[in-house]
Chains A and B, each alone.
Chain A
Amino acid sequence: EAGVAQSPRYKIIEKRQSVAFWCNPISGHATLYWYQQILGQGPKLLIQFQNNGVVDDSQLPKDRFSAERLKGVDSTLKIQPAKLEDSAVYLCASSLQAGEYEQYFGPGTRLTVT
């Protein structure tokens, strides 16, 4: 089966610019996650979708980050405006359902903010 797809793989922007990431989960997976992984740290959950609804966005900096999952399939994560501390790898993952199901990760987007 095809894995989780993400694009772009790399992005370099200047601070205060905006950027968007795209994720296509595994077909049939109801739950989609966006994680931020700063170098040397574990992934930190930013937002979790169940189909097209948000079930947890408690760690999403809502003043600059937004995400949507229209039609319950693909998802986009946007940062506007970017700050230097947003430099990280943004990982998308999906699972059949929320809970005790394996999360399959995409290759990630490495964002560098200068």
Chain B
Amino acid sequence: GENVEQHPSTLSVQEGDSAVIKCTYSDSASNYFPWYKQELGKRPQLIIDIRSNVGEKKDQRIAVTLNKTAKHFSLHITETQPEDSAVYFCAALSGSARQLTFGSGTQLTVLP
């Protein structure tokens, strides 16, 4: 089955700096890669996603890049704000049932 690895597990940045979270996946047939944000005690919420026919996607301060050859994708957050503090999960869609496999999460802390 699919295996998704996520790094780093914790990340602290100063407000206004950029943050980058990286994920690798194992199944070359995976073709959809969403990112979820989970605030403490809350449900995961989709913040951005990318499909395998696209190399990069941007939405305001958030961008995701995908390298299919290397089987890795990254989340970039620019001009970080304290409200960006949360756990971020990457995921990859694969399998005959089209199921998501999640990474282990990155705790992002934005220091004011």
Residues of A bordering B, CB below 8 Å = 33, 40-45, 48, 55-56, 58, 91, 98-100, 102-103, 105-108
Residue in B43, B46, B91 whose Cβ sees the most chain A Cβ within 10 Å: B43
Nearest 10 Cβ contacts at the A-B interface: A42-B102, A56-B97, A105-B43, A99-B98, A55-B97, A100-B32, A98-B98, A42-B89, A105-B44, A102-B46
Residue-wise interface mask of B (72-99) relative to A, using a CB-CB cutoff of 8 A (1 in contact, 0 not): 0000000000000000010101011111
B6 proximity list for chain A (CB < 8 A)? 42
A3 to chain B, nearest CB (A): 8
Knowing A42-B89, A45-B100 are in contact, say whether A102-B44 is a contact too (CB < 8 A). Answer: no
Interface size on B (CB < 8 Å)?
27
Taken together as a complex, chains A and B put the C-alpha atoms of A79 and B93 apart, in Å, by 27
Asked whether B104 is an interface residue with its Cβ less than 8 Å from the other chain, the reply is: yes
Asked whether B101 is an interface residue with its Cβ less than 8 Å from the other chain, the reply is: yes
What are 16 A-B residue pairs whose CB atoms fall within 8 Å in the complex? A40-B104, A40-B105, A41-B104, A41-B105, A42-B4, A42-B89, A42-B105, A43-B44, A44-B102, A48-B97, A48-B99, A56-B97, A100-B98, A103-B34, A105-B43, A105-B44
